[in-house]
Structures are given as C-alpha cells and as structure tokens.
Structure 1
C-alpha cells in the first residue's frame, strides 16, 4: 500500500475511533453544541443591534411582521382570524384613545385584568406603544389579594375585561380615587368607570409616534407579572425587554418554525403563555390559536380543527388529557411539538404512548429568575441539561439545604456547600451584568430577600430560586421539590402565608398554618390547613367553606383540614411545616375529589 493510502487509512481509522470515543464518553456532544451555537447566535444578534445603537424589542418585531406579512393570521380566536395587520391597527386605536385622553405618560403603569381574548393583546400592545409598563393581573384572585396586587404595582389605570365586571365591583369601593378604571364594554353604569369599546369605534388606527415606545435600554421594564415567589402575597416581578426577548426565543430554540400553528390555552397573565407563547409566535412570524380557557374534552378536536402543530402545556394539562376517556382517532392530529414544564415522568410516557410521536420540550424557569434550563435532547423526566459551556455563560450551583431550619446549610466557615451528583440541592443562579436580577416593582425588601450573598466567597451574589433540583451523572437536571412557604397545585404557585391569613380571618380560628402535601396520582401538592380553634369555639365547616370559596381562587383553597391543640414552631418561632408534612406522609392515606368545588375534609386531632 502506498504511503498516501496508508495515511488516508490511518486518518479514517483515527476519525472512527474518535467518533466511537465521543459516542461512548460524550454521547450528547453534538446535540449540546448545536443547541449552544443556536443560543449564541440569538444572543449575538441582540447584542449586535444594541452595539449599533438600535434597541429592538418584541413589540418592534411585531410591528415589522405586520409590515412584512400583514395578511397572515396572527391570532385565531373562537373561529375568527385576526391578522398581523388587524391586531396592529386595533392596538393603534387603543394607543390613540389613551393618548387623546392625556392621562398616561411614558413609563406609567397600567394594570390589566382580563381573561384570554384578542383584546388582551390589543390593550397590551397599545399601551406598550405609549411606553407604558403593563401589569398582568391574575383573574382568579379576588378581594383583598387583588387589591394588594393593584396597590403594589401603583398603576395610573386599570383596564378590565367585560367578563371581570363582577370582580371589579367587589373591589371598586376600596380602589384609590386617583386610579382611572376602564372596562372593555360599550357603556358603563358603574361609578368612576369608563367604557372603551364605544370609543375605539371612532378612534384613529394611525400609528402613534415611535419615540413613545422606543426603549432606552433592554433593561427597561416592559411588564409586571405577578408571582407568589416563596413567601407572602403575590409580588409584581419586573420583566425587562431583555427578558421578553429571551422568552420569545424559546419556541425557536426548540425547533418551532414560522409555518407552525401554536395552540395556547394557558392564561396570558402567565409568563409561559405571554412571553414564550405570544412572544415566540411574534419572533417567528407564526400563527397562534388562542382559547379562553383550557378544555380537556375539546383539546384534540381544536387541534384538528385549526391544524395545530405546536402546543403549550403544564404538567396538570397533560395529566388531564390522559385522564380523558379514550376516543377513536385521538392520535389523528398534526401536533409535532409540545413545549412546557412540570410534567411527571409517568404522565410524560403515558402522554406519548397515547397521543403519538410528539417532541416533548420540557423547560425550567422562574418568572423573575435569571436562569433557564431547556431539555433539548428529549430525555424523559428531565427539565434540561447542563455542561461546561452552559455554566460558563449561565453560572449556577446546587447547594445543601437545611430542611429543619428552612435555609441553606453553611459550614463552620460560613460558606455554602455544593451537593454531590444525585443529591437534591437548592438551585442558586449567579447574578452579574450578563444575568441580572430585576426584582419586584416597588419592593426593595422582597427583592433583597431573593438574593443570597457570601455563598462561596465574600460579596458574591446569587438569585435564590427556592427550588430543589437534582443533577445526575450525565448532567441532566430534574425538578425535585419547592422550598419556602409556597407549593404548586393545578399549575399555580400558592403562597401559604396568604392562605393562612384568609383562613385566620374567621372568628372561631385562633391560628392557621397552611402547607402543601403530596397526593398520589396528582401533580404538585394540595393544600392542608392546620388550625387551632379559639377557646370555647367550635369548628363551622360550612362557614369555612363559604369563606375560602369567596376569598381564594380554586387552586389555593385547602383540600384537607387538620385540627391541633398546639401549633409547632421552629427555633426562630416560624410555623413548622416540614415536620407536619412528614407526619402527613407517615400517617395519612388520602383521597380527594378532582373537582374544584368539592372537598373532602380529613380531620385529625
């Protein structure tokens, strides 16, 4: 054999050996590299615009799409098509209306209390065109909690959907006099409340000046999205233009294309539906099918009717679909990608076995957080994967957590300690100029509570996610549990202190302690209320039921009740939840009704 062919044979043999070695030792190398390069490409494009002095927001991208493809369907709602051009013009009418009223200026906050409908997007974009910050209110909450949310974001105006008038009437007498109230109706008989739809009919659809919406920095606030975080009442997380751009890239990163049709049944006040769903649709120039409320029985028929190719989910949504009676032809759809979070491994497998070969794109992220994991490999049960390059750009750590003290463990030198692979650890994400934490609107104290300093060395700062994750030997990450005074039920975060305050309002209850408990076969944790009765008072279950139904959204209502004589506390006099939860796991065999309006009380003394 000639030297040349010997050289070629040697090179080929070496390449094959390297390939086999890579497959054996680094099986996800090419998938990781492809995903990393995709993320870097997007980040460089955003940074390139910034360096050229051009700040391009998601709203700017929408307006460009409206010029580029004016007649392409943007929103499909209850069979009606809303094109990019028509949504752009309707949002112009909203902007022109409020500009003419002269009550808003650039930087003002407007709270939006609306359910899923095209007008949610029209008002959102119209206000954004005036440079206003829009606060998305959770339409499930009422009374005191809703008032707290409105007051915490200090809005100049509140815009309310037509189907939320009952909720508005409850709080109207308590709203500050200087807050203007507008409703999506043609007339209004309520005091201090103006109608919008009649005025939009005569409002101009010409664009407002570009200077009103132009962002000075990607770190300027664009939205306030309420999150329970880990303690207390809901807090308005500051969502910057940078975060909306990152959220809008999620669909593209998972392989969604401009030709896809995205089905959104999650509430738009959630970051998943608004940033990832609507934002992702805009980023691609795709079409979104929007539904007012999720329906398990109508889900697949909607997918067939509208030729849906991409769906958004939370874990409970997938479980509800799997619990539906089997129907002939339920695999006869065009859905190829599902994007979401919180699905259990068993439900994940059942979902695929039942509904077909769908690419499940699980991710992890907190609304106010500065870190996100994306499962780009399809590993069942994992929320994402990390590697050397990922940690280089998005540094994070999993540290030991003291469940008794409910705080990070520290060694004798005062430093936190990393957990070993396979052990659950508290997820901390480093805060720096590239991965900032924007905190909560108007609440410096709550913002500071989410930061941990002096973790591994003096003056380092980390964002405390409040979540426990596990990293396996192959660097896949798995959600394990939530810490703090929050649990997750029906896809929503429930702040235990808020529920405790509501339960404690009853005259026969001396003290209430609320915590989440695991229920076999269900996602997340259900609420357990542990109470102490006042001396010489008896439990009135009917009154308690009516009270929590009135003041709490369905997902926050405790499903179990426990009566105690003494309330356990920690060494720092905080209510003991960890021990109560452990006792529950040992001593209770539970079942609950799957419907929101039915309870089964489990009395234990």
Structure 2
C-alpha cells in the first residue's frame, strides 16, 4: 500500500473521529451504556418468557451461599454478614409459619425505622411468599390506618421504637380483628404479639423453596406508599419486574462487588429499599445503614467505613454543602453518588466542595413505568434520550395548560408534543414491556393516572404529573410538578390531605393548601390559605396542635394566610396559581400572615423582620 493511500485512510479516520465528536459527542458512551442495559433486559425478558424468575430474594439467598462471610450490612458499628441476615430472616419466616395463620399471597404491613430487623422481617416474610407494605413512619392516626387498610394487610408488624404511634390506632386495629406484632420480647399492650422472644425458639434452617417461588415477573411483591397527586397516601403496586429493574441501577452506573454503599434515606422509600438494598444484593456489595440522615456525621461515617457510593436526594446534598467547611472535605473514598432531585447550582457546589464524585442522577416515580438515568454526568439533567431508548421506553412531552390543569389539544382532539427547549408534560406509553400496575384497591386513582386516546384512538399513556424539557442534545431536565402535590424535605405532600386535616377544626370553613418557593431551600414549603366560619375567631393554638398531632413535619404548613373569600376555577377547583406566585411576603400581601415557629411551638404573626430572616437563611425552615 502506497504512502498516499495510508495518508488518505488516516486522514479519513481522523475526519470521521472529529465529525463524530462534533455531531454525535455521546455516541460511544451511549452505546456502551445501552449494550449493558440491553444485556440485562434480555435476561429479564427470559424471565418473562420462561416463567423461571430469579427474584431479588432469590439473588440474596444465592449471595448468602456464595459469599456467606462477606459483610452485607453495617449498622451502628455492628457487622452483619450475608449469612447472618439469611439465617435471622429464616427465623422470622419460621415464627410466622409456626405462630400465625399467614399463607403465601397474604399481605403484611411494616412500620419500622431504619434498622437491621427491617431487612430481616422483609426478607423473612418474602420467604413465606407474603407481600409486604412499607409504611411511612412519619405518618400517624387516620393516615396510618388508611395506609394499613389500603394494601389489604392481614398483619401489622411494628418496630420497638414505634409503640407510641401504635397505641394511637391499636383500638381501631383490634376492632377490625387485625393481628398486631411488635419487635420486642414482651409487651404490656393487650392482645399484641411479640416477635423477639419467639425468634429464640425456632430454627434458622432454610424454608422450602416452593413457598417463595415466583412464576410471573408481573407478580406483586411490595406496596410502597406515595402521595400521588391528591388525597391520602396510595399504595403503589410494586411488581417483581420493578424491583429487578431498580436493583440493577447502581450496577448500570458502574457499581461493583467491592463497593460500600451508604444509605441514610428511609427504607420505606423505593430509593433506599429497591435501588439501595436490592442494588447491594445484586452486586454482592456491602451497605452501611444509618437510622437517620445526619449532615454533621455524614462524611465522618463515609471515612470511617470506607464508603465508595452514597445515595442522595437534592435536599441531602444541599444540607451537606451548608455544613461548615473543614480540612479534608475531599479526604474520602466516595467515587459515586446515586439519587435524584439535586439542583444544578447545588450539584456544582457539591463537586467543588467534596471532590470528583460521579453524580448519577435518576428520574422515576415509585409507581411509574419510565425511568431516566444520567449516565454521562451532565450537570442538571435527569437523563438522556436517544432513538434506541425511545424504542424501548416510548415517551413524549406534550403541551399542558397549567391554569386549566389539563393537556392542550389540537382541533382534532389529539394532544400535541412540544418542541425541543419547550416545557411539556412527561407521559409514558403503557404496553406489555412497560406496564402500569397502579394502586392497590384504588381503581379510581389508578385510572386518573392514565391518559387515553392521546395521539390516536386506543393508545394509553402514564401521566407522570411532571413538567420537563428536552434540549437539542436530547438531555432531559425536570421543571416542576402539576396538580395538587408539591415536594418538601424529600417527600411528596398531598395538598388535599393537609386541607382535610385542617378542615376538621370547627372554626375553619375552607383551607387551600399549596407550596411556595423560599430562597435557599429546595422544593416548595407548605402554605395554607384559610377562611373562617362566620362568627368564629381564629384559634391559632388549636390549629398548631392539629397540624402537629396529625401531620408529619414535612407536611405541616409553615405559613398561613387568612382570607375572606376563596378563589375558585370555572369547575369550582381551588385557585392556587395566584397564591403560589404571591408567596408569603408581608410587604406585598395585605391579608394577615402567620408563621409556624418551632422554637415557640406556635403560629405567630409573620412580620417583615421574620420574612427577611427566612429569605436570608437566618431562620431555617
């Protein structure tokens, strides 16, 4: 071959390389990620076709046999190996085989904090073929009872540190002949069963495989509660398919068996339980579990336990950035962070402060049928789409009228997609590969999450309720939520539930709850516009006691606005748009405003000074 030919080939290859870099800069990183995901997808498809499903529980049992002495869980300095958790969960299974009437397919509800026995109980129940509902330990009273009953549970298992919460609803549970079990050796509560004493009397031998064998990838395995868009929490149906997809998330981002994952998020959330715990199981990795997140101890724990991967939500990253700077902020082994909801400015500050950590931003709803994964590390993006992705996970961004709270349709009655760079409502096509399992015992709310006849007769899409934008490079960015939900402290707050709690008070005629933005804070903080009944004075003490008694901290309205008339839409829905825009500034709002002051345990008048201290960050919300 002549020199001119060689020169021509080299020149051509160089030209192709630079052309690819300019026109398709993410080609190879996309392809590598896609091939990895496709390989796992083929494995799941084989489960679907053959009915021989290897569940997360199956994977855990395999790991316990393969690496029995490897640390699976580290909690408060105590190490629990894969064998330890396998054997103790066998004992839990034996307790309920011997001492209860539970059978395969029954549902059990758990109310427990982050602790090793959360996993032992979860796995033990799964080993006898039970479905498990994870209850949010922040909720109480009426909401807690609603959650228990909505997933159809026959048994209620309560952690030792949640007994005060149990006492509030125990009479109602016993009226319904519900069997209640507590994680103690003894109890003074009448009619309540204990677990720890019985664990000592049973064997830790494996339970028969037929009890937990799963033949369908669509079979339900968990109920995880979500605020949804309206009303009380709803039990999202979590299938084996969803757990298998979630369990592979950290692996897809580059996790390996040598990694040590730090989980501070609550285990009742799918992020911690499915992506975190199940993700460790898939890899055969180690999890460091903390009961509750602590900004001041976060990096100390990471250094102490040689953590390599952390889980986050946006607020968590912001809290860490707000901590006083210390020598050695970058002196750790964390190489990857997996989570969702971090703002671009916090993202940049986090990397500058704590070093070169690969930020793996996710997008997905607990009950949803679509997920995005930002595998490129593009700051601010929740993920990237391409032709191959849309073939597997078909989705669209459609035009949406926020004022009317409905999609914008053309003259033929079909929805319209937005242009790139334009904000639209994210919807995901429902089909056999991407099913929507809905909410347990709640056909109405399940149906409300679906859009039918969107682009043609007969098509069905899942309505995520999220407004997003896609740029020219196909990166997707979250913009806002629609409907009657806002996000605060990493939790979804259903405004109608809060309104109902406030409306119970005999001097309240109507309450309109919404989220408002506050400087230096992610998400939206709760605010309630209230109207008094005629000839009834405002009782701030009663109002404070009501929200503290019946609402978790993140759902309590921090601001009140006293109005004489409530604005409504043409269909008599409460008007929130103007109220949200006006916020809680006392200099621009003439009506009385109040602030929930934690230090005084009361609602107090919101003055200009208090407002400015909140905006400047001197008062923390």
Secondary structure of 2:510's counterpart equals: strand
* Partner residue, 1:575: 574
Alpha-carbon separation, structure 2, partners of 1:585 and 1:455: 38
1:406 aligns with 2:405: yes
Distance 1:595 1:358 in 2: 36
1:42 equivalent in alignment to 2:75: no
Change beyond 3 A, Cα 1:595–1:309: farther
Distance 1:66 1:592 in 2: 52
- What do the CA deviations read for 1:170-196 (whole angstroms, capped 9, x no partner)? 011112432110000000111221010
Alignment of 1:222-301 (within 5 A): 222-301=221-300
TM-score (norm 2): 0.94
Residue 131 of structure 1 is aligned with which of 129, 132, 141?
129
Q: How does 1:168-207 map to 2 (within 5 A)?
A: 168-175=166-173, 176-207=175-206
Q: In the alignment, what sits opposite 1:9?
A: 7
Deviations 1:458-516 (A, max 9, x none): 11000000000111111111110000100000000000000000011111111001011
Q: Which runs of 5+ in 2 are unaligned?
A: 609-621
Q: How many residues align?
A: 602
Conserved in 1, the CA contact under 8 Å of 2:47 and 2:217? no
- Seen in structure 2, the aligned counterparts of structure 1 residues 68 and 372 have a Cα distance that, compared at 3 Å, is same
Give 1:180-579 correspondences, 5 Å limit. 180-579=179-578
Kindly provide the CA deviation profile for residues 1-24 of structure 1, in whole angstroms up to 9, marking residues without a partner as x. xx5544333222221111111100
Q: TM-score scaled by structure 1?
A: 0.97
In structure 2, C-alpha distance between the alignment counterparts of 1:472 and 1:98, rounded to whole Å: 53
Q: Structure 1 stretch 535-544 or stretch 509-518: which is displaced more?
A: 535-544
1:163 pairs with 2:196: no
CA distance in 2, matches of 1:603, 1:558: 17
Change (3 A) 1:542 1:225: same
Map 1:72-151 onto structure 2 (within 5 A).
72-151=70-149
Query: Does structure 2 retain, via aligned residues, the 8 Å contact 1:310–1:337?
Result: yes
Structure 1 residues 349 and 59: alpha-carbon distance in aligned structure 2, compared to 1, 3 A threshold: same
Of residues 54, 71, 84, the one that matches 2:52 is: 54
Contact 1:227 1:234 in 2 (8 A): yes
Q: Distance in 2 between matches of 1:8 and 1:236?
A: 65
Cα pair distance change 1:191/1:346, threshold 3 Å: same
Q: Aligned partners of 1:567 and 1:602: how far apart in 2? A: 21
Note the C-alpha offset of 1:102: 4.0
1:184–1:588 distance in 2 versus 1, CA, 3 Å: farther
1:213-263 per-residue CA deviation (whole Å, 9 max, x = no partner) reads 011201000000000111111000000001000000000011111101000
| Cα distance, 1:342–1:600 mapped onto 2, change above 3 Å | farther
* Distance in 2 of aligned mates of 1:488 and 1:356: 28
Moved more, 8-17 or 518-527: 8-17
2 CA distance for matches of 1:591 and 1:563? 8
Distance in 2 between residues matched to 1:50 and 1:236, nearest whole Å: 24
| Cα distance in 2 between the residues matched to 1:477 and 1:96 | 48
Moved more, 43-52 or 282-291: 43-52
1: distance between equivalents of 2:541 and 2:80?
A: 46
Secondary structure of the residue that 1:124 maps to in structure 2?
helix
Offset of residue 445 of structure 1: 1.2
- Per-residue displacement from partner, 1:95-147 (whole Å, max 9, x unpaired)? 01101124111110000000000000000000001111000000000011101
- Given the superposition, is the C-alpha separation of residues 341 and 595 from structure 1 closer, same or farther in structure 2, using an over 3 Å criterion? farther
Tell me the secondary structure at the aligned position of residue 206 of structure 1: coil
Q: What secondary structure is seen at the aligned counterpart in 2 of 1:222?
A: strand
Indicate the SS of the match to 1:378.
coil
CA contact (8 A) 2:307 2:333 kept: yes
Check whether the contact 1:569–1:575 (CA below 8 A) recurs between aligned residues: yes
